[in-house]
Structures are given as structure tokens and as C-alpha cells.
Structure 1
């Protein structure tokens, strides 16, 4: 089961934790809950410490989320942090850092 929790640090900055698998099951949650909740912020930390699995749909949803946030703002700072090793391996295989930009990924 997928859940998320976000904590605004101030009016401009938020950390969002994803818990569970990033797969087709979260499509509706991503579009209807997560994206709108992040739109007010300019500094966004997407924490994947509790994401054990990502499939191709989940990667597509993550790319779409980041593209949508960047499209709506002139200035937005997004980072993806605390990536579990098995998820990082998948990101490396598909060269996600080349697609989204190396600067988004934190160790």
C-alpha cells in the first residue's frame, strides 16, 4: 500500500516522503493528491527512503510529476533524496539522472 506524507518547512519549502511501491497503483494519487499539494512550493525534497520498488509506470509518474512542477514555475528547486540501493540501481540502468538532470539526485 502506498502512502505519502509532506511537511512544509516554511511557505516555500516542503519535504514529501513516499511510502510503498511506485507503480501503476499510485497514478490517481499522484495526479489528484501529490501534484496539487506540491504546487505552492518552490523547494521540494522528494524522499524515497521508504520506497522499496519502482517499475516503469512509477518512473513515468515521477518524471511526469517533476516535469509538471517545473512547467508551472519559473523557479523551482527539486531534489530526490534517500534513494534505496535497489531503486537507485533501476534509476542507474535507465539513466534517469540523464533524463531529469544529475542535480536532482542526492545521496
Structure 2
């Protein structure tokens, strides 16, 4: 089961605490609720500490959401990836695709 909580730090900055699996079952909630809740901020952190699993549907949706937010000039960062989720993202080169600025905690080669 997927859940999220949004913590507002300032008028224009928020953290989304994500919990559970980001899979096909979570996509409806993410599409209908999460994106619209986050697009009103100028800076958003997606906190992945309690995300245990991400499937291909979740990865695709996440990439689309990050791109949409960035197009709206929202600064997005993804932090606190678990080792398992990091390995999937790394294997699929998600940090390279979305950009270093989205993954500030990941060490990139050639840094």
C-alpha cells in the first residue's frame, strides 16, 4: 500500500514523505493527488526512506511527474533512497536521465 504525507516548510517549499510500494496500484493516487498537491510549490523534496519497492509503472510515472514539475519551474530533489530502490534506479540510469540536481545524495562518476 502506498501513502504519502506532505510537510510544508515554507510557503514555497515542501517535503513529500513517501511510504510503501510505488507500483501500478499507487499510480492513481500519485496522478490524481500527489502531483497536483506538489505543483503549487517552488521547491519539493521527495523523501524515499520508507519506499521499499518501485516497479516499472511507478518509475515511469515518477519520471513523468519530475519532468512535469521541472517544466513548471519547480525544483525537485529525490532523497533518502533505500539500497534496493537505489539499485533499481542506478541500473536503469534514472539519476543520469533526470539529472544530478534531482539526486543530490548520489555520487556520480567523474565528479
TM-score category of the 2 structures, normalised to the smaller one? over 0.9
> Counterparts in 2 of 1:65-84, with a 5 A limit?
65-71=65-71, 73=72, 75-84=73-82
Q: What is the aligned length?
A: 105
- Aligned-residue RMSD, C-alpha: 0.9
Q: Can you give the 5+ residue segments of structure 1 that lack an aligned partner in the other structure?
A: none
Matched with 1:54 is 54
Structure with greater proportional helix content = 1
Deviation at 1:105, TM superposition (A): 0.8
Deviation at 1:8, TM superposition (A): 0.7
Structure with greater proportional strand content = 2
Matched with 1:104 is 102
Normalised by the length of structure 1, the TM-score is 0.94
Matched with 1:10 is 10
Could you tell me how far apart the structure 1 residues matched to 2:57 and 2:29 are? 13
Q: Can you give the 5+ residue segments of structure 2 that lack an aligned partner in the other structure?
A: 106-111
Normalised by the length of structure 2, the TM-score is 0.90
Could you tell me how far apart the structure 1 residues matched to 2:33 and 2:4 are? 10
